[in-house]
Amino acid sequence: MILKSFRLKILIDELPILEHTKRYYFNIYGDANCFLCGVHKKVFHHIWLCPEVINLIHAHLDLIILFIRQFILENTKIHITLNEILSLGIWDVAYCDDKFIFVDLLRGFIPQLLIKHLQRFLTISQIHSLLTSIVESNTDFTKRSIWIPYCQALNIWKNDLNITRNIKRYFYRVDSFLHLHGIDHTNSERSCEGLLQFVYFSVNSFNYLVFGII
């Protein structure tokens, strides 16, 4: 059983990834790149899109597509092709902040396009059942295959740099990171605006998300 708090954290971008930690320990980590690939940084999506784990994402995406097709077949006897599902345009695995991508689904957001497509074949209760299974599968995948290995690798990286708890306590600061990145509270939510038009926020969907979390 995945903890409710874990689902909420990936939904609202609150997992303690390195980029978040750097806000408080910038004097230790500096503006370091991803400790796995050594190149990327800054966006929350990178824990799924890092070149070191991207093959896992592709494999999980394939499983989700097959699961949707099989669910529709078993419940309606209707055969749909994999291409019909893939043509929805919500499965990209490259970062984009103004278009729905597969990582948004992994985080728990449900795209309108998927809901509308499923309504062609399934009843509301069947859609509810299907999406509940997908959310649970996605959360379990993120925790077991992405987050736990990420934390283990981060600890090894910190040990290699000899970053101990006492050192972190001594260097706790936030001002230098905010100053370097020009961050203030008036622009911190801007990156989500382009995504909102693609996400299903009706009463039914909200009920579904609450149900899924509990």
> What is the contact surface with Zn ion in residues (CB under 5 A)?
34, 36-37, 40, 50
**Residue 40 CB, nearest approach to Zn ion (Å):** 5
Using an 8 Å Cβ cutoff, are 22 and 158 in contact? no
For Zn ion, which is the closer residue by CB, 37 or 153?
37
Residue spans of alpha helices (H) in 77-111: 82-86, 102-107
Residue spans of alpha helices (H) in the chain: 4-11, 18-24, 26-29, 46-49, 54-76, 82-86, 102-107, 112-118, 124-141, 148-160, 165-171, 175-181, 193-196, 203-213
Spatial separation of the C-alpha atoms in residues 4 and 161, rounded to whole Å:
33
Spatial separation of the C-alpha atoms in residues 154 and 9, rounded to whole Å:
18
**Residue 35 CB, nearest approach to Zn ion (Å):** 8
For Zn ion, which is the closer residue by CB, 34 or 101?
34
For Zn ion, which is the closer residue by CB, 46 or 107?
46
**Residue 178 CB, nearest approach to Zn ion (Å):** 23
For Zn ion, which is the closer residue by CB, 71 or 147?
147
Residues in the chain: 214
For Zn ion, which is the closer residue by CB, 17 or 118?
17
**Residue 155 CB, nearest approach to Zn ion (Å):** 16
**Residue 189 CB, nearest approach to Zn ion (Å):** 24
